[in-house]
Amino acid sequence: MSRIGKQPVEAPKGVEIKLNGQTVEAKGPKGLRTFTVPNEVSVSLDDGAIIVKPADDSKRARQMWGMSRTQVANCMKGVSDGFMKKLEITGVGYRAAVQGKVLKLSLGYSHDVDFKIPDGIEVKTPKPTEIEVSGIDQQLVGQVAANIREWRKPEPYKGKGIRYADEYIFRKEGKKK
């Protein structure tokens, strides 16, 4: 039995929920998100809360149960609060700047890296060595942050590169003479 799936998804203040067949639509101050629940799972609206249950006792239905409930909850959180990932840049001369819909990264290459910011994502650089990626879609925010980090992953000797703000880099000792 899914422990997560058993809990109903309460709508936060200011979020409007609509149920259209298998599609859950959440509208809030940050925008609109929809999620289509798989056919193996049944979804119902009861007193302002979404209740997700498996349609039968198959293994696939039980697998989809908790995942569907979490996706619906993420839709609610996304339109009310949004999601954010913070990245830090470490290294001499490494910096970032936002120009329109392009993130310019200077990462020690012979050229600057131009990263196009996708629709629905907002990127800010409060300092030249900090990047904040935010939006209403948790998956898209995480993917964009991972794509930015991919340009220069942190290396284990000096720790230079782009890392998540809460990431610990295991440091190695250099060569000994």
pLDDT digits (tens, 9 = 90+) for 37-92: 999 999 998 888 889 999 888 899 988 998 999 999 999 999 999 999 999 999 99
Query: Which pLDDT band, with edges at 50, 70 and 90, does 1 fall under?
Result: low
Instruction: Out of 3.90.930.12, 3.40.50.450, 3.30.420.40, 3.40.50.970, select the CATH number for domain 3-80.
Output: 3.90.930.12
The domain segmentation of the chain, as residue ranges, is 3-80, 83-164
Q: What is the pLDDT of residue 175?
A: 87
Query: Which pLDDT band, with edges at 50, 70 and 90, does 35 fall under?
Result: very high
> What pairs with residue 17 in β-bridges?
26
Q: What is the pTM of this model?
A: 0.87
Q: Mention the CATH class of domain 83-164.
A: alpha beta
For residue 40, give every residue at least 6 positions away whose Cβ sits within 8 Å of its Cβ, in sequence order, or none: 54, 55, 56, 58, 60, 61, 64
- Percent residues over pLDDT 90 in the chain: 69
